[in-house]
Amino acid sequence: MSAESGIPTFRGEDGFWRIGSKNYTPMEMATRAMYMNKPDEFLAWYYHRFATYRHHGPNDVHVWLSDKNLITQNIDGLDGKAGNNDYISIHGRLDKMTLFHEQGDPVDIIETPWDKVDEGALAQSLFSIFKINDLPELNYSLKPYVLLFDEFYTNLYGIDNAIERMERADKIVFMGTSFSVNITNMAMDIAMKNNIEVEVVDPDPYILPYAKVTYHKMSALEFINRN
């Protein structure tokens, strides 16, 4: 959905998960283990791949979704900028951070002061913002508010609320997802269990093993222009 805003897709040709750091693949970079053991590599990669897009604005798709019951995998925060005040960012937000904590513990979600980053002294600047001396310290250092590959869904990311919304849905519409993450699998399990109608909006949709699916082989922008 955010491609129209100039933000790369995750698994497209130039997507985030196709672009790693100098030494590691994206699947290796976007982990809690990498943050804990090589925070300099992790934070530099995260800053260049995500935070540099923080000033991009919403597009017509986000505006169309602003009054919808929305659960998004995107971390760019554009749905909030478009006016949706009740959406669930199930994988986090690039403009936020939290205390580095044991998963499941309740912690506050706070603003990340990205504008204080000095790109001329990037590592030192990022370590200062995230309160890291050498390696991250549990319950002292800070961590980007983003769900990493070796982490699990907790209520910090709104998982119980998301499941409740999906359970109550009359229809579930998927836009631009590869069905390769747990939340989409959970949504499909709920849809099949409750016999919920499903629609998939994607130029090259993944074909689902479910009879009650309507496919729209088009971009999200094309879809909203027809609806």
Give the span between the Cα atoms of 163 and 55, in whole angstroms.
31
pTM: 0.88
pLDDT at 5: 56
- How is the chain split among helix, strand and coil, in percent rounded to 5? 40, 15, 45
pLDDT at 1: 64
* Least reliable range by pLDDT among 7-11, 34-38, 153-157, 207-211: 7-11
CA-to-CA separations, 207 to 77, 182, 201, 214, in angstroms, rounded: 28, 17, 11, 10
pLDDT at 121: 96
Sign of CA dihedral 68, 71, 77, 78: negative
Give the span between the Cα atoms of 95 and 15, in whole angstroms.
20
Structure tokens at 3: 């491609």
Give the span between the Cα atoms of 86 and 196, in whole angstroms.
22
Q: How confident is the model at residue 54 (pLDDT cuts 50, 70, 90)?
A: confident
pLDDT in tens, 86-96: 999 999 999 99
Cβ neighbours for 84, distance < 8 A, ≥ 6 positions apart:
62, 65, 66, 67, 68, 70
Give the span between the Cα atoms of 148 and 34, in whole angstroms.
10
pLDDT in tens, 12-53: 444 343 344 456 677 788 899 999 999 999 999 888 877 777
Contact 206, 182 (CB under 8 A): no
pLDDT at 23: 62
More confident of the two residues 145 and 50: 145
pLDDT at 207: 95
Task: Provide the phi-psi class of 172: left if phi over 0, else alpha when psi is between -120 and 50, else beta.
Answer: beta
pLDDT score of 108 more than 50: yes
pLDDT at 15: 39
Contact 26, 16 (CB under 8 A): yes
pLDDT score of 200 more than 50: yes
Triad 24, 54, 35: Cα angle to 5°: 30
| Residue reference for tokens 């597009």 | 59
Which ranges of 111-181 would DSSP assign to H, the alpha helix? Answer: 122-129, 159-167
- Nearest CA-CA partner of 183 in 152, 223, 146, 215: 152
Q: Give the mean pLDDT of 91-105.
A: 96
pLDDT score of 10 more than 60: no
Q: Give the mean pLDDT of 132-142.
A: 98
pLDDT at 6: 61
pLDDT at 18: 39
pLDDT score of 214 more than 60: yes
pLDDT in tens, 147-198: 999 999 999 999 999 999 999 999 999 998 889 889 999 999 999 999 999 9
